[in-house]
Amino acid sequence: MKMHRGINMTSVAGDGLEGLPGLLFAIAFVLLFAGIFMPRNWFLPVFLGVEAGAAILYIMCNRHNRKESEQLQRELHRINE
């Protein structure tokens, strides 16, 4: 059992999620500041919706980038043969 580096989830959840916690924290700080100007009953749904949307978009972009990089690796390997 190897140790992991705390909030950096790369060794826990696999490659590609290392930037997700930082993104979620940044959104939380911005929305907490913006929450001063929003009605109280709107803050939680807006906060959860933005956090979930950001996480989904981040993961989808990483999958897309991973597919492109795998395709590029296959093409480069084919060229080198």
Let me know if residue 45 belongs to a domain: yes
Going from the C-alpha of 5 to that of each of 24, 32, 33, 46, the distances in angstroms are 18, 27, 29, 31
Total domains, the chain: 1
CA distance 15 to 9: 8
Q: What is the pLDDT of residues 60-77, one digit of tens each?
A: 877 777 777 788 888 888
Let me know if residue 2 belongs to a domain: no
Structure tokens belonging to residue 13: 């959840």
Let me know if residue 4 belongs to a domain: no
Let me know if residue 65 belongs to a domain: yes
Q: What is the pLDDT of residues 16-65, one digit of tens each?
A: 566 778 888 888 888 888 888 888 888 889 889 999 998 888 888 777 77
CA distance 29 to 62: 23
Residue 22: which domain range?
10-80
